[in-house]
Amino acid sequence: MTSLSDIVFPSASEQPNFSHLLTELKRGDLSISNRLRSIIHDADFVREVAAAFGSVEEGPTEATGTVTLSRPLVANERCGSWYIPPSTKSASAYFKSTDGHDNAWKFSTRRLNLHLLEIIGRCDGCIIVDSTRRGKRIPDALSKTIPIWCAVLNRALFPSLPEEAHALHTPPNGAGDDTENWACGLTAELFWAHVDQLLGTPEGELPALVRGLVDACEPSRGAGAKKVAPSVAVCALAGVEDGEGRRCTVKLTPAVTEKETWIVKAPTEMEVGVGKHKVGSRNLRAALPDICGFVTRFHESQKKEDGSLAEGTTVLVACETGKDLSVAVALAICLWCFDQQDNYRAPDTKTIFNKDMVRNRLGSIMTAYPEANPGRASLQSVNSFLMDYRR
C-alpha cells in the first residue's frame, strides 16, 4: 500500500508561475484563429444590420421606373474592410478617432471624405463600419468624429435644417483594429478570398498558411496607377510596370538605405530606400529635396519652347501600399513643380509655400483618390521641406 512518504511532490521551482499562466491564457484569447472567428461573427452582425435597414426606392424615372437600392456598406479604414466582403463593400472612408478626442474636436481638412456625399444622396444614407478593442463601447471615430463631420457639412449644405434631424447608428466593437500587430501581412481582401481555408486551419498551422497566402499574393497586389493630378500618379510598388512614353518613376522602397546608395537607375527612374510606416515618414524629410530635384531635371528635359511640358509627360510615385508615402511625395511634387492651375513652372527661390497651399492641394488629391491615406508624419515632412527649403 502506498504511503504518504512515497508520493513525490514537485518542488516550488517546478511549479508553473501563476502570472505566466494568465499571460499564456490571454495570448490565446488574442490568437489569429480567435481574431478571425471574431471577425466572421461581427461580419454576420454587420450583414444583419444592413438587412434590418432595408432598402430605399429611387425614382420613378421614365427610363428605369422605380429602382430599389440597399443602403451601401462603407468601410472606415483600415479595419472596417475586415467586416465587409469586397463584393458588398461600396466605398472606403477615413474618419480618424483623434479628430474626435476630448478638447481636440475639429473638422479634418486632410480627411474630407466628400466622395461619401454622392453615395449618401443616392441611397438616402450609408452604413459605416468600424471597430476598436480599446475597451470602448463605441469607437471615437463613430461616436465623435463622424458626428462632427455630419454637423459641419449639414450646416454648410442645409443651414435651416433642425438639429433634431441628425441621426447616428453605430456598430459593435470588433477584432479588426491594429492589424499590423497581429495579421502577419494578411489583408481584408486576402482574408475574404480565403475565409473558409483560414477558419478551417488549426491554430498552430495558421501563421505558415498566412505567410504562404501573403507571399503568393505579393506579385499581384499592386493596383493600377491612380492619377492625383494631370501629370502625377501614384501606385503600389507591386503595380509598377515598365515605363513607356514620357514617364518618370520614383520608387520608395520599404528597406532603409543610406542616402549615398539611393539609385538613379536612369534619367527616368529613381529608387529611394526611406523605409516604411513611421520610419519612412520621418526619413521622407531628408529624401524630398533629392526626389524633387530628380523630378525637376526630368521635367526640364521634357519642356517645350513655350515652357510647358510635352503632352503625356507623367511622374509615377510608388510606395509599398500606394496610399501613404507615395501620396505625400506626389503632394510635394505637385506643389514644387506646378502652380495652382497645374501648369508647369521651374522651381526657384522666389516661390513661397504656406500651409493653406498644402491643405488645398491635399484636398484636391484626396478628392481624386479617396483611398489615399497619407500619415500625419508624412505630411509634416512635406510641410518641413516646402517651408524650410530656403533656409
What does the pLDDT read at residue 65?
47
Please indicate, yes or no, whether the overall pTM of this predicted structure exceeds 0.85: no
Q: What is the pLDDT of residue 45?
A: 94
Does residue 309 sit in the same domain as residue 374? yes
Q: For the chain, what is the domain count?
A: 2
Do 271 and 130 fall into the same domain? Answer: no
Phi-psi region of 205 (alpha: psi -120 to 50; beta: other; left: phi over 0): alpha
336 neighbors 292 (Cβ within 8 angstroms): yes
Task: Identify any residues that bridge with 227 across adjacent strands, giving them in sequence order.
Answer: 233
Residues 167 and 287 grouped into a single domain: no
At 75-112, the pLDDT tens digits run 999 889 999 999 999 999 999 888 877 777 778 888 89
Whether residues 139 and 247 share a domain: the answer is no
DSSP β-bridge partners for residue 291: none
CB atoms within 10 A of CB 90: 16
Question: Is residue 30 domain-shared with residue 178, that is, in the same domain?
Answer: yes
Parent domain of 247: 222-388
Mark the ranges of the chain whose per-residue pLDDT is less than 50. 61, 63-65, 169, 172, 222, 391
pLDDT of residue 64: 44
- Per-residue model confidence (pLDDT) at position 107: 86
Please write down the HEC assignment for all residues of the chain: CCCHHHCCCCCHHHCCCHHHHHHHHHHHHCCHHHHHHHHHHHHHHHHHHHHHHCEEEEEEECCCEEEEEECCEEEECCHHHHHCCHHHEEEEECCCHHHHCCCCCCCCCCCCCCHHHHHHHHHCCCEEECCCCCCCCCCHHHHHHHHHHHHHHHHHHCCCCCHHHCCCCCCCCCCCCCHHHCCCCCCHHHHHHCHHHHHCCCHHHHHHHHHHHHHHHHHHCCCCCEEEECCEEEEEHHHCCCCCCCEEEEEEECCCCCHHHCEEEECCEEEEECCCHHHHHHHHHHHHHHHHHHHHHHHHHCECCCCCECCCCEEEEEECCCCCHHHHHHHHHHHHHECCCCCECCCCCCCCCCHHHHHHHHHHHHHHCCCCCCCHHHHHHHHHHHHHCCC
Q: What does the block give as the cell for 314?
A: 507623367
**Could you tell me if 311 and 383 lie in one domain?**
yes
Question: Is 255 part of any domain?
Answer: yes
Same domain, 110 and 251: no
In a domain, 98, yes or no: yes
In a domain, 138, yes or no: yes
Residue 229 has, within 13 A of its CA and on its CB side, a CA count of 31
pLDDT in tens, 291-332: 999 999 998 888 888 888 888 889 999 998 888 999 999 999
Q: Are residues 178 and 228 in the same domain?
A: no
Tell me, yes or no, whether 240 and 371 share the same domain: yes
Q: Does 177 share its domain with 69?
A: yes
The long-range contacts involving 52-56, CB below 8 angstroms and separated by at least 24 positions, are 53/125, 53/127, 56/123, 56/124, 56/125
Q: Examine residue 196 and state whether it is found in any structural domain, yes or no.
A: no
